Amino acid sequence: MIYFQLFYEFFKTGLFVFGGGLATIPFLQEISEKTGWFTIQQLMDMIAISEATPGPIGVNMATYVGYTVAGLTGGIVATLGLITPSIIIACIIARLLYKFKDSQYIDAAFYGLRPASLALICSAGLAVLRLSLFQEALWQDTGLLISLFNFKGICLALVIFALSNKFKNLHPVAFLAASAVIGMVFRF
């Protein structure tokens, strides 16, 4: 039963996600709330790990969730659930695009999909921003406004942002590795 549920949840995600792996984050938040398979903090960890490992972020996160829920088979099932709609849709679209390549309706559909994809990616970005830079639980416990802000996270984000703009040719993995080391130093 768990394999069917994993496949189903990730099939739905794969069916409706446009705009790449980061657009899966709102769907993963919904899966977290609905199933309890992972916490929002674990989702943040998944994003970090998925960004740092080779391959598409959405596939990496599906594999991670499936593996933590139901082992190796769960990882495979969740990944297949996520990619199956893409394969089906890509085959259908390839056939239709070839047939209707000069259609203004197809152009109009893609014109509408671009801002929708951007909105999903921005929504995911704002969720990551909120979870990384703010400590809402601590703020609720203390009631002090200053406790809302994760100052170490804010400093790290600003430094990495500044450095990534200064050293544009440096590979993103270098920034992720440096951030991981800094995160370990901050925690201990």
Q: What is the pLDDT along the chain (188 residues), one digit of tens a residue?
A: 899 999 999 999 988 886 667 778 888 888 988 999 988 888 888 888 887 778 888 888 899 899 999 999 999 999 999 999 989 988 988 887 778 778 888 788 888 988 988 888 888 888 888 888 898 888 888 888 888 898 888 988 898 888 888 888 888 888 888 888 888 887 75
Return d(Cα 165, Cα 161) in angstroms, integer. 6
Q: What is the pTM assigned to this prediction?
A: 0.61
Residue of 125, 145, 126 whose CA lies nearest to 135: 145
Report residue 72 as tokens: 């190796």
DSSP alpha helices (H): ranges in 100-169?
104-133, 136-142, 151-166
CA distance 76 to 82: 10
Are residues 23 and 17 in contact, defined by beta-carbon separation less than 8 angstroms? yes
How far apart CA 6 and CA 76 sit, in angstroms, is 10
